Amino acid sequence: MNLTEMRRWLDLRGIQLTKSLGQNFLHDGNQLRRIVAAGEVVPADNVLEIGPGLGPLTELLLAQAGPVFAIEKDARLVEVLRERFASTPNLTLLTADALRWLQENPRDWTAWKLVANLPYSVASPILVELAEADGPPERLVATLQLEVAQRIAAEAGTESYGLLSLLLQLRYEPRGWFKIPGSCFFPAPDVDSACLTLVRRPRPLLTHAEAKVFTQLVKLAFSQRRKMMLKLLKTRWPEDQLQSAFTEIGIPAMARGETIDLLRYVALTRYLMRP
């Protein structure tokens, strides 16, 4: 589906795009094919697509994947998708707010891949929701705001590193991103865009119970970025326990949250959960 076809469908249905829904549709065929390639999509794959819009990415996924489960909030666009793919048996369409639906319908996504051009306003919470599922997807390939992609893939001590980096990297290894020019979208977004690839770690760094404590820990550590982490954490854990943990793990007493890497947060979580 190229830009001319997009305009034709929108005009045919009298659809005015809604900025609040983040409706900036990717129409460039080369970029769409790069996204599918990043997903390493094969016929045996189950693929989740969130925000299919008019279906340019959906079309490629249906040709290369097994079952495709697409969630679209805009009922007007769902009507277009049903018409476009009426004879395609491997597509399941759901009209819903994807974030809310994921929160209210927990399921095992272990055998799935996410390949999607996510609505930018909810991209981060959607990725975190999937990453924190009991069974997170095998791979997350998402087009999102460039700044958000950089934050997710960031390393400790860099300007972009923060809470989002840690929440995603606990379960996933960043495998790179590529920038997508605004001219590839209709209408062109006001921000730069990128497609990011995250691959699920072969072995979890923490158990599910430990991961819940990890989330509490890092949220507290980044609750006030300019404050020393020790001062923030002692509102939740005894100071003497924290000091012993910092010494054993090698965390400076004056450290701030953004200077501590993932593995030391993992070690700190395990220490604080000791009986």
Q: Is the per-residue pLDDT at 225 higher than 90?
A: no
Domain boundaries 208-272, CATH class: mainly alpha
Query: Residue 196's closest CA among 157, 148, 155, 263?
Result: 148
pLDDT of residue 92: 97
What's 69's DSSP letter?
Answer: E
pLDDT of residue 2: 86
Alpha helices in the chain (DSSP H): 3-13, 29-38, 56-64, 75-84, 98-104, 123-131, 146-153, 163-169, 208-221, 229-233, 239-249, 262-272
Q: Give me the half-sphere count of Cα atoms (radius 13 Å) on the Cβ side of residue 106.
A: 7
pLDDT in tens, 76-98: 999 999 999 999 999 999 999 99
Q: Is the per-residue pLDDT at 134 higher than 80?
A: yes
The neighbouring-strand residues paired with 142 are 116, 196
Q: Which residues of 47-65 are buried (b: 16+ CB within 10 A; e: fewer)?
A: bbbbbbbbbbbbbbbbebb
CATH of domain 3-200: 3.40.50.150
Query: Residue 259's closest CA among 231, 233, 213, 221?
Result: 221
* Nearest 10 degrees: Cα torsion 57, 59, 63, 65: 50
pLDDT of residue 228: 95
Q: Is the per-residue pLDDT at 20 higher than 90?
A: no
pLDDT of residue 10: 87
Phi, psi of 26 (to 5 degrees): -80, 125
pLDDT of residue 21: 66
**Other C-beta atoms lying within 10 Å of the C-beta of residue 124:** 20
* Average pLDDT for 27-41: 97
* Mean residue pLDDT across the chain: 95
pLDDT of residue 226: 84
**Cα–chain center distance at 68:** 18
* Average pLDDT for 173-196: 94
Report helix, strand or coil for 200.
Answer: strand
- pTM of the predicted structure, to 2 decimals: 0.94
Domain boundaries defined on the chain: 3-200, 208-272
Residue 219: exposure state from Cβ atoms within 10 A (0-12, 13-18, ≥19) = middle
Sign of dihedral through CA atoms 245, 173, 59, 41?
negative
- Answer with the residue of higher pLDDT: 19 or 185: 185
* Residue 12's pLDDT band (cuts 50, 70, 90): confident
- Answer with the residue of higher pLDDT: 188 or 140: 140
